Structure 1
Amino acid sequence: MPKSSAFVPGHISGFFQVCNEFNDPARKGSRNCGPCIGAGVLTEVKTRESSSSKIEIFINDKEAPTALTSRTVVGEILKILDKPFEIKVNHKVKAPIGAGYGTSGAGAIGAALAVSRALKLRLDRSKVFSLAHKAEVLCGTGLGDVGAQMRGGLIVGLEPGCFPYGKLKEIGITKDMSIVCGTLGPFSTSELLNDPEFRNRSKKAGSRALKDFLSDESIKNFMKVSREFVSELGILDEELMEILDGVSSDCPWGASVVMLGRAIFAPARPSESKEVRKGFLNYFDRKSVMVPKVDFEGARIST
């Protein structure tokens, strides 16, 4: 029974601009910026030849029939094969699901990498990028996580879409950076992304945020621009606003909201992360706070 596994980091967007001018999902996406984090998704895949093709998706060992993004990716790979296979995919997720940490994109990439390795398909990284990005767009689970997750680091998406349309740039930051995160709960990404009024607001606010960030590509300015973007987007509820104001004073570079989620993040050096985490614990319970490192490796095969 050929098997393989892959790890893909999570991803946080501090700001984004919805780009949906084209019908081709390869050209849709977002311009955005944010770090990849070590709280990601480990995907384990088992395969075997069969009389008919079958796909089973599990999340943390529980069957997940609604994991459409991963199912779509595996379905596309099955079309490449000249014989049917049964494929079992198990995502071990290390970040809160549905809270803006890019877990659906991480799962889709991991499924593509691991299935390709298990079946010796030798799909190149641009093909994996394309498969996962298109699945995210078609399933409405995300627009701009996949490119960053393939690469790792603090990434700004300059142009939307996957290969050959998407354009990414890595922003230099210290290699020991952590991202303190506090999560209140999930957020309906697809519902917002399908709202025309919200998309229009994101286009205006996101365009301004990208321009302001590119004038000063520093972590301090990234957090400043992200905070301004959140305010302009107008999606903060009273509870989240109160927490954001409360934790910001303990954060050396400030704090902002994970897009799109009911969660807050703040970068910190090793010498600062303990104090920042302590500030978060005034508003979040311990299980809701995590302090992952920035992941600079990006998506990779584990076994």
Structure 2
Amino acid sequence: MSDGARKTATKSTFHFAAGLGSGVLSAVLLQPIDLLKTRVQQSGSSHSLSAAIAEIRASPSGFIPALWRGAVPSALRTGFGSAIYFTSLNSIREHAAHFPLLAVRPASAGAQHSSSLPKLSNTGNLLAGAVARSFAGFILMPLTVLKVRYESSFYKYNSLAGAARDIASTEGLRGFFAGFGATAIRDAPYAGLYVLFYEQSKKRLSALYLSQNKNTTGGGGADGKSATAAGVNFASGVFSGAACSVISNPFDAVKTRIQLQPKEYHNMVHAARRMVGEEGVRALWDGLALRMSRKALSSALAWTVYEELIKRAEITWGSGGGGTHIVST
């Protein structure tokens, strides 16, 4: 293997490991919010947040353990999903940087930034995020179906293996990809807009920080620079996750119904029409507050941890990439 190929493989390993770690951490910490969102969405107007909490309190396993039901498939799905997503996203961004339409404009190439990841134009960020998320979503779709059904009260699965056998015997291979259309339509625009909003937010917050501290000296040292960069990344992640959740929630609500009741909701169009017809337009926004909270926090955690791990890996092992940080001048 040539030095170039070895370096590329090592860098991809860094991104995979960083994505896996950040995904697992956010999934485990925020599983209760995800479970509550699924319970609220599963029954529409007849299932409120208070009813979902009351149902969980009545669980024979106890309130706290019941809140983390589905944590294993969630951690597997989010962990490996994040690993595949971040690895493919970085690869796509590195290749896209060679195309004039997708590369960052020369006038802004030297702008201060809190990230050492490849920089693209708004169009490049939008397309890279959408393609990477769609690819990761397809690969992890079976785990997504298992995760949602585990979280729902419609199914009483005792193990992942038992859930997989039940789906395979009753619905076949198609059952593991139930709701993929709605998931792809939800995730592709979400991820594309997220990367776009995230990068723009980081750039503006970085510029704001610099403008407020341009007359100061020292900058607080390396630890201060790292903490400030992490703060900018986290704030950008919260804003981007919340904004994109509002835009994509209808597709998430439809996707949940299809995955939980594929015999009742045949496809995306049928599910949306039935939900609106029987429950009103508000059915498409079930679980919005919970999803917005969960996505804002999980995205912020995942991206902040991921970027910090990549930054430290590049410094430790010298794999290259050294971009500018927000306090560099």
Select the structure that is richer in helix.
2
Q: Which has the larger radius of gyration?
A: 2
- Does TM, scored on the shorter chain, surpass 0.5? no
* TM-score scaled by length of structure 1: 0.30
